[in-house]
Amino acid sequence: MDEAYFLFETLVMLDRYRDSFKTFDITLLVNPNAHSQIKDGSEPIIAGITTNIEQVLANEFDVSVNLSMTETSWPIHNQIISAQKLGPYLKDGQLHVPDAWSSFLLTLKARAPFLTFHIQDIYKNILGVKRVSFPLKEAKNYQQIVIGFCNTNSFAATEQEKLINLIHAQYPYLKIRDISEIDPVSNLSQILYIGPATISALKLCEDGATGIFLSSQFQGFNLLPFNEGHLVVSSRNNQLLAEKLLPLITNQIQHKEIPANFPYSVYQIDEENLFGSYLKSLNTSDDSYPIYQSHVVLWNFILNLFDIHLEIIECNSAQINVLKTQAEVLAKLIRLYDFAMSSVDNIHNEAKSTSADLDKIQGHSKNLQDIESISDKISQSHSFLRPILDYYRIRRGQNSGNTLLEQAQHSFLNYSEEHQAMKAMLELFTVTLRKNEVSI
């Protein structure tokens, strides 16, 4: 029930892993506005797309899956008659999120600093698909350049016009067109797209075109097609200039490597594994990229107990400063959670006692409320730490204990896991800093 981008990625994921779903009859309930945006005259990927909520609620399903982050979808999912539910649903005023990957998906609601995983990887892990897909790799003979115009704050209109003229002067045989002029049902494999990551560009590149996606800063997988052939260019909050961009475009047309001393950051999707893939820096990276690497390693382990080994990059001074700042805040948070675990432990001990001290329980409960408040404020002010704090806040909300003892046991396990996860992230930051010979 989300916007067009999420619906489009859902459909592409279902198509990419269609063998995994061939024994299922799929009904896909979608947002009408999103559906109208992605319809392009081609045949639908699956036959079971509907916008009719009443029709869905009248049927019974073996499994219902909510891939939406919109809160309006939660009560709808609860009303659907199904033997098993994946993804969030609202029952008796309580939000239930039964699986870990759906909890991670909900952390994106709070504007995560970058999308650590491709949205298709998040969806396939929620569904339990454990299969690698290998898109065909082939050198393309480009016949057309398609331009998507960027925000002029990062790429001035005069520079965008200059880039078009430079490309035309160097490659007069290539037809240069605006993205709005492309027939979506035509053969797109001979197109090189240059411009921002938009839903139109995403559709174009998933249907065969190759993209050079221009952005002002590193955003992870936001609005990127799932294919190794595309490049992501970040200006690192500087102005994009036509003459500086041209060598990269030239090398892409000629199937050459990234030009030496290219002034902007360039990223590419690295090889896929069972659980997903990640963006690899091909040259000097953005300030947040070392943080992104730590998130990739940590979340692969938290969600799937899967180890990813990434090469530690040589950090510049700005990257080191970002890492040191986050490490200092994280160290303070870890000490705060020492107190949280102590309070939960005390509540647990009182709950086991035949003569529980209500004043002690209320006092430690007040400590936990204060710690939650501080954690929430840190989550709002430190975007790089927000995903992990929000994730465990959602997991703690799934406490189904019927007694104080059961609730205390559940809380202790969650606080303990979050405590260890924060220690692991601090260790990842520290290892990167030590590798760059920085002490904290």
What does the domain layout of the chain look like in residue ranges?
A: 4-127, 144-269, 317-435
CATH of the structural domain 144-269, one choice from 3.60.21.10, 3.40.50.300, 3.40.50.720, 3.40.50.11540: 3.40.50.720
**What are the strands of the beta sheet with 175-178, ordered from one edge?**
175-178, 144-147, 191-195, 210-215, 231-234, 265-269, 279-281
What DSSP character marks residue 226? S
| pLDDT score, position 227 | 83
Q: Using only the alpha carbons of the chain, give its radius of gyration.
A: 24
Backbone torsions φ then ψ of 73, nearest 5 degrees: -80, -20
175-178 and 144-147 beta bridge pairing: parallel
Q: How many CB atoms within 10 Å of residue 355?
A: 5
DSSP designation for 116:
S
| The pLDDT of residue 439 | 62
pLDDT score of 308 more than 60: yes
Which residues 6+ apart lie within 8 Å of 331 measured at CB?
Answer: 426
In the three-class reduction of DSSP (H, G, I as helix; E, B as strand; rest coil), residue 279 is classed as: strand
Bridge-partner residues for 210, per DSSP?
192
Average of per-residue pLDDT values in the chain: 90
pLDDT at 35 over 80: yes
188: tokens are 């797109």
pLDDT average, residue stretch 393-409: 82
Q: Residue 167's pLDDT is what?
A: 96
pLDDT of residue 390: 93
Average pLDDT over residues 306-328: 93
What is residue 41's predicted lDDT score, i.e. its pLDDT? 66
Query: Is residue 140 very low, low, confident or very high in pLDDT (cuts 50, 70, 90)?
Result: confident
- pLDDT for 42 equals 67
Residue in the block written with tokens 């806040």: 393
Given a cut of 90, whether residue 228 has pLDDT beyond it is no
**Percentage of the residues of the chain whose pLDDT score is greater than 90:** 67
Q: Would you place residue 300 in the very low, low, confident or very high pLDDT band (cuts 50, 70, 90)?
A: very high
> How is residue 361 written in tokens?
């329980």
Helix 386-396 to helix 289-304 angle, to the nearest 10 degrees? 20
What local confidence, expressed as pLDDT, does residue 130 receive? 86
Which is more confidently placed, 404 or 283? 283
Q: Please give the pLDDT value at position 360.
A: 84
| Rounded CA separation 53/223 (Å) | 28
Rounded to whole angstroms, how far apart are CA atoms 336 and 396? 17
Report pLDDT for 2.
86
Q: Do domains 144-269 and 317-435 have the same CATH topology?
A: no
pTM above 0.85, yes or no: yes
User: Among the listed ranges 54-68, 232-246, 370-384, which one has the minimum average pLDDT value?
Assistant: 370-384
pLDDT (average), residues 47-76:
94
Residue 37: predicted pLDDT:
86
Whether the pLDDT of residue 58 is over 70: the answer is yes
Residue partners of 374: CB distance under 8 A and separation at least 6: 336
Average of per-residue pLDDT across 111-122: 91
Q: What number is the average pLDDT over the span 116-125?
A: 94
Instruction: Tell me which range, 32-36, 228-232, 425-429, is most confidently predicted by mean pLDDT.
Output: 425-429
> Which pLDDT score is estimated for 253?
94
Q: Contact 356/350 with Cβ under 8 angstroms? A: yes
* Stretch 62-91: mean pLDDT: 96
Alpha carbon distance 196, 47 (integer Å): 31
Q: Output 335 or 439, whichever has higher pLDDT.
A: 335
More confident: 420 or 405:
420
Q: Residue 365's pLDDT band (boundaries 50, 70, 90)?
A: confident
What percent of the chain stands above pLDDT 70? 97
- 10 Å Cβ neighbour count for 316? 13
- Predicted pLDDT of residue 440: 54
Fold of 317-435: Methane Monooxygenase Hydroxylase; Chain G, domain 1 (1.20.58)
pLDDT at 185 over 80: no
| Integer Cα distance of 282 and 297 in angstroms | 19
- The answer to whether residue 173 scores a pLDDT higher than 90 is yes
